[in-house]
Amino acid sequence: MATEINVPTLGESVTEGTIGEWLKQPGDAVAVDEPICSLETDKVAIEVPSPVAGVIGELKAEVGDTVEVGAVIATVEAGAAPAAKGEEAGRAAEQRQENKEESKEAPASDASQTLSPAVRRAVLEHGIDPSTVKGTGKDGRLTKEDVIAAAKAKDDTPAPAKPEEAPAPTAAPTGTRNTERVKMTRLRQTIARRLKGAQENAALLTTFNDVDMTAVIEARTKYKELFAKKHDIKLGFMGFFAKAAHLALKDVPSVNAQIDGDEIVYHDYVDISVAVSAPNGLVVPVVRDVDKKGFAQIEKDIANFGKAARDGTLTMDDMAGGTFTISNGGVFGSLMSTPIINPPQSAVLGLHRIEDRPVVVDGEIVVRPMMYIALSYDHRLIDGREAVTALKVIKDAIEDPTRMLIDL
């Protein structure tokens, strides 16, 4: 008896997905809860498990097909996977046919049978197609003189005049030049649509500042072993920036708000979306209640999301909501960028690489580990003064982490 496999519930407001890859084919054995395919939605890629053990029967959708929640995409038959029948015979038949085709001899050209060695040499020397020349020899055969005459007539034929406006010919490309067309994944299509929508629907502007990372680096160096021993997690930079962002969002509420129609929605909590690189594109899981969490829990949440993104196990709930985003391009070596907001949010903080640069401190030039930070914001809601103020609060908190402890 066949068991149907349906598209599972994909999350709130998500009604369909796209078949990304079939992990099992008809005739393959499958165990209970073993994934049979990957399904791409607007936000995540999930694996669809088999509810029973058996053998894959029929696949009712192809890679790239859009399927709705509840739709039947495959069937599973009870029993073991059938042994492959006739494979050897099939391969043998294919080999016999291939050998037969290779053994066929191409028919010899009539022209090559009637050309004398001297005529063949003349044809090659002058680049003449013998089939285009009328022979004057016995039985209409070509002679050497026929080939020479044809070559002379060819040389005497004037080349067609080139129009004055025609461009000079360019050299033809050499070597292999291949192209490949790959359909965009559903996730990549959604990313493209949302980012383009952010540019079209928001009045985007970016303000910059630079941060002296000396204090944070010293704190990490001093406490990293004790922190890891007590909390079983490394002390990273993201915890510092998340807490610094909390201070900024509390001081400048509009940066933590969003526009909904003709209303502004303010949030009395801080849920920070953290941009994470996944195999299929950029995803933004949400660290919730940053305003209530300590460094250790924030670092654990971020680490868990990073692993889930790499493993492809992020859920829709992991990425739902979010009032503000932090994107760290510095891990890839970025010096400076203008990040794009994550709608319907109104602002995003961009972090970049840390590098030693000369700066002036107390009238003296010193070398300090510096980082450029950027705040992109929707100017419809956030004024320039507010954006600059929020970024300055983040800068001050990073350069003097004590501010985060005493809520200053």
Active site members: 379, 383
Side chain identity at residue 53, one-letter code: A
Cβ atoms within 10 Å, residue 239: 27
Comparing CA positions, the residue from 302, 295, 291 lying closest to residue 227 is 295
CA gap 281, 147 in Å, rounded: 65
DSSP assignment string, 10-60: --TT--EEEEEEESS-TT-EE-TT-EEEEEE-SS-EEEEEPSS-EEEEEE-
Its sign, for the CA torsion 300, 306, 308, 310, is negative
**Which residues share a beta bridge with 159?**
none
220 three-state secondary structure: helix
CA gap 344, 259 in Å, rounded: 7
DSSP state for residue 172 in the 8-state scheme: P
Q: Which long-range contacts (CB under 8 A, 24 or more apart) does 140-145 make?
A: 141/114, 141/115, 141/116, 142/114, 142/115, 143/119, 144/116, 144/118, 144/119
Q: What 3 state SS string does 85-143 have?
A: CCHHHHHHHHHHHHHHHHHCCCCCCHHHHHCCHHHHHHHHHHCCCHHHCCCCCHHHCCC
244: phi then psi, degrees, rounded to nearest 5 = -65, -40
**What tokens appear for 216 in the block?**
């944070």
Comparing CA positions, the residue from 285, 297, 288, 284 lying closest to residue 239 is 297
DSSP assignment string, 242-280: HHHHHHHHHHSGGGG-EEETTEEE--SS--EEE-EEETT
